[in-house]
Amino acid sequence: MEFLILEQIRQMVEMAEQARKTLGDYVGYEVAYDSIALQLLDEWIERHLRQFSQPSKKMRLLWISFLGEVFRRRHWGEWVIQERDAKGGLAVLCPKEDGGRHVVDISGQVNRRITQGIAASLTYFYAITSIELKTAE
């Protein structure tokens, strides 16, 4: 696992802001980095997949950046690249209340959301992972 450098973090934040603005335009009000916005993100992904079964890399990265920023901001996490198979995936390393750390696989979850549909809801994933961050293993 390696931490993203400042320029990479800046790019992730910019993409997350772009996604946040798109979500806000969709609902007609400013969207925060929270679980309500993740419900909107789930809807956005669902609508997009009805038109395009394979979203572009840019679209995936927008979704990844937004989900990651929600975790980073709400759980004081840090962007990292984790080794996963032959390719590294974007993740957020979050502190746990028991003093440990937990790697949240952001890229993997967005990919599961795309392939498994709403059964892999980002809203549900966020809720469950948030609980895990507050409990001891």
Domains of the chain: 2-134 (1.20.120.1090)
Mapped onto helix, strand or coil, the DSSP state of residue 111 is helix
Of residues 67 and 137, the one with the higher pLDDT is 67
How many Cβ atoms from other residues are within 10 Å of residue 39's Cβ? 16
Mean pLDDT along residues 26-53: 96
What confidence score (pLDDT) does residue 83 get?
Answer: 79
The pLDDT value given to residue 122: 98
Residue 136 has pLDDT above 70, yes or no: no
Interval 47-76 mean pLDDT: 96
**Cβ contact 69:61 at 8 Å:** no
What average pLDDT does the structure give for the chain? 94
Q: Which of 46, 42, 41 is nearest to 15 (CA)?
A: 41
Whether 118 and 49 have beta carbons less than 8 Å apart is answered as no
Beta bridge partners of 21: none
Average pLDDT over every residue of 55-66: 97
- Return the DSSP state at 58: H
135 vs 72, residue with greater confidence: 72
- What pTM did the predictor assign? 0.94
Token pair 């198979």 in the structure block, residue: 85
pLDDT value, residue 87: 59
In the predicted structure, residue 118 carries a pLDDT above the cut 70? yes
Answer whether 75's CB lies under 8 Å from 131's CB.
no
Q: Look up tokens 């392939």; give the residue.
A: 115
**pLDDT for position 113:** 97
